[in-house]
Amino acid sequence: MSQREPSSIFASCCLFFVPMDGLSARATKLMKPRVLEMGGRVEDQLTVIFSGDLTQQEEDDNDVIDLEQDDERVMNPVVTHLIVARSVNSDSFLRYLGRHDISEAMIARLHVVTDGWVTDSIKKKQRLNEKDHQFPYHSVASSPALSRQATPTQSPPPPSPPLTPPDPPLPLALAASGGATVPRVPAVKMEASIPEVKMEVCSAHGGGGEEEEYHHTRPSMERNRRLAKMFKQLSSVYKAIATEPSQDFQRYRHYSRISEIVSTWPEPIESVQDLRPLRGCYGAKTDEKVNEFFRTGSSQRLAHLLSDERTKAFMEFQQIWHVGAAESNKLYRRGLRTLADVKRHPEYLSTDLQRRCLKYVEDFQKKMTRAEVEEAHQQVCSVAERLYPGELHIVLTGSYRRGDAQTKDIDFLITRHDDREVADEVNRIVDSLSHDGFMTDTLVLSPGCGFGAKSEHKSVTFYGVCRPRKGGPLRRIDMWMQHRSEYAFALLHCTGSAQFNITMRTHADKMGLQLTQHKLAKVIEATGSKQGARRSGQSRNLTHEGPPIPCETEEEIFTAMGLRYRPPPQRFHDRDFGAECHEAIAHRKLTWYWPDGGAVDSSGEPLAKRRKKDDIPRPPIVDQLLVRQQHQLQLKRERAMAAGNLKGAMMALKGA
């Protein structure tokens, strides 16, 4: 193999360490950071879930997960290398594959090598030839466990395309001369190749690679997955019945966070004690639900909610886009119980938008493949290139960018390559697409700050309905257009996941910062409010100090917040991310100083000038209410001393 830079010898390599004898969790944990440092990736799942029923798979707001749904397990398309311990014999390896329903044909595209390939490559600081470290295993005919899955006519699946490096960031600095022109750049800008299957935890390894058949009383990765589904279902139910702010809304947020943590837990959860390090994220009642699931495999609370007539009606009503808990409550009080009732009485809906969306319910519930999303992307980009040649940058965001195999809507983020403000670009693109028959309806077109947050620049939000394929179902399509200087923040926001965004913003809040889809800036809260607190239903008046932190890319946003960068497929709230944010609570009083907030320097280190504000005098945040109280006590003490009332003076002093 050719000599490479030590920091990139594992570039384009994605490793899966087979959890068998000789490769303990400790050994894997030691090798993983070295692989990551040298440009590689390490996956915790060898197989991933692919749902064959498009209408039942959970992804967005109003779906309910069926705990007994049959899911198809397929090979993780990202993995390129299987790392097997040298002490493992071929028969044990084949039995491992058989237990996990993996045929030899399924791993034909992978490099199956021993752990010596990893350790020797690290020592010699170059990627060694895989053939010299190939792990020998028998053919399919010698393995009864595999012969029933692989037939002589089977051919290996085509190899997955290698991950391509990401696009270079949008330039934030234009030529200083007034006559400089913006270079012509194609409107169609594709992101880096992203895995086509959602990375759910479904690899059934654990405890040295030996796993028994699933049972709710025995620890396994399958039990983790079903426990996560239970919490996700609780989250969906509470979201359907919750009004913001309310206790049910907090339960929805809480169970959504717990579901993401459990679904990404790296090893089988043996008892509730394993979750003790996360006690800052949940309380005793969640402990009870975990213990109940381990005892019975179900939740009485969930069963009670799903059997409730009001809950079932709310969840059915909210299949209509733009119908929430408040509108569902109005329909329920009018005597409606099912979606069919609403279709018979559309006049009971409050807005014309809801009545228009009623006819799209069936189409909006159907999932679409990544191929269909990409076809829509090409159509939008071709129109944009025709109207604004070389001027726009258009990317797909949302669950597609996170790598999900199926999605319920199509999300676009648009910005200009130059520094001009957003104008009527989205309107013209939508009009042209409507004329072509691609766009069929406009649900919301909001000029101005469509996200609802304050910004120095104008932005546009569009929600509509399109038909990417002739004769196919109608699809939801969203377009956001923001100024170039806000592109990185908008991209982070639009990519999600929702729980990941919440955790990021909470972390920023604890550090005395404010993260939005428009900027990252240092803030102080209004008088009398507690820094870092998030109270449901209470408004927080924030005063920005100084200019925002200039960030061209998502990586720079993570760096500014003291967090390790996570690529889109890893943006979920797991145990490691929660711990990383939790450690930063100790720094919540830390404030940063930006000398000028000017443009990013050419060295590529825009945060190099940032330094702690410990060296700079900082005016204290004065609590006017406390000052008035202290002043009144001081006056009371002085009056008591003047009157010779020593006891009263001492009481006033004690109160102060």
The full set of domain ranges for the chain reads 6-42+81-147, 221-320+322-359, 368-490, 496-615, 624-655
pLDDT attached to residue 550: 82
What average pLDDT score do residues 221-233 get?
Answer: 91
Tokens of 321: 């886009």
pLDDT attached to residue 652: 63
Highest mean pLDDT among 61-65, 122-126, 451-455, 613-617: 122-126
pLDDT attached to residue 625: 61
347 pLDDT band, cuts 50/70/90, is: very high
What is the residue-averaged pLDDT of the chain?
A: 75
635 pLDDT band, cuts 50/70/90, is: confident
Least confident residue range of 157-171, 239-253, 337-351, 394-408: 157-171
511 pLDDT band, cuts 50/70/90, is: confident
Highest mean pLDDT among 255-264, 371-380, 509-518: 371-380
CA distances from 335 to 313, 345, 570 (A): 10, 11, 44
Residue-wise pLDDT tens digits, 95-111: 888 877 788 777 888 88
pLDDT attached to residue 33: 85
pLDDT attached to residue 22: 65
Q: Exposed (0-12), middle (13-18) or buried (19+): which is 298, by Cβ within 10 Å?
A: middle
Render 34-61 in DSSP notation, one character per residue: HHHHTT-EE-S-SEEEE-S-TTT---ST
What average pLDDT score do residues 320-337 get?
Answer: 93
What average pLDDT score do residues 147-163 get?
Answer: 40
Q: Which residue bears the tokens 């806000």?
A: 486
Q: Which secondary structure element, helix H or strand E, spans residue 15, and what is its range?
A: strand 14-17
More confident residue, 190 or 458: 458
pLDDT attached to residue 167: 42
Whose CA is closest to 268, among 309, 321, 227?
227
Contact (CB, 8 A) for 275 and 219: no
161 pLDDT band, cuts 50/70/90, is: very low
Using the predicted structure, report yes or no on whether residue 448 has a pLDDT greater than 60.
no
656 pLDDT band, cuts 50/70/90, is: low
% of residues, the chain, pLDDT over 70: 68
Contact (CB, 8 A) for 483 and 422: yes
pLDDT attached to residue 364: 94
pLDDT attached to residue 327: 94
Q: What angle do CA 309, 311, 316 make, to 5 degrees?
A: 95
**Which of helix, strand or coil describes residue 188?**
strand
The set of long-range contacts for 644-650, using a CB threshold of 8 Å and a minimum separation of 24, is none
Using the predicted structure, report yes or no on whether residue 230 has a pLDDT greater than 70.
yes
Spatial CB neighbours of 615, under 8 Å, sequence gap ≥ 6: none
Highest mean pLDDT among 73-82, 544-553, 602-611: 73-82
Fold of 368-490: Beta Polymerase; domain 2 (3.30.460)
Superfamily of domain 496-615: DNA polymerase, thumb domain (3.30.210.10)
User: Which CATH number does the domain 6-42+81-147 belong to among 1.10.8.50, 3.40.50.10190, 2.102.10.10, 3.90.1530.30?
Assistant: 3.40.50.10190
Using the predicted structure, report yes or no on whether residue 206 has a pLDDT greater than 70.
no
Using the predicted structure, report yes or no on whether residue 147 has a pLDDT greater than 50.
no
Phi and psi at residue 327, in whole multiples of 5°?
Answer: -65, -35
How many C-beta atoms surround the C-beta of residue 470 within 10 A? Answer: 7
pLDDT attached to residue 7: 65
How many residues make up the chain in this entry? 656
Q: Which residues pair with 592 in a beta bridge?
A: 612
What average pLDDT score do residues 346-360 get?
Answer: 94
pLDDT attached to residue 509: 79
CATH code for the part of the protein at 221-320+322-359: 1.10.150.110
Residue 250 CB-half CA count within 13 A:
9
Using the predicted structure, report yes or no on whether residue 274 has a pLDDT greater than 90.
no
pLDDT attached to residue 184: 37
Using the predicted structure, report yes or no on whether residue 545 has a pLDDT greater than 70.
no
Instruction: Out of 198, 229, 232, 289, pick the active-site residue.
Output: 289
289 catalytic per annotation: yes
What average pLDDT score do residues 335-340 get?
Answer: 94
Sign, CA torsion 124/127/132/138: positive
% of residues, the chain, pLDDT over 90: 33
Cis-peptide, bond into residue 497, ω within 30° of zero? yes
pLDDT attached to residue 56: 37
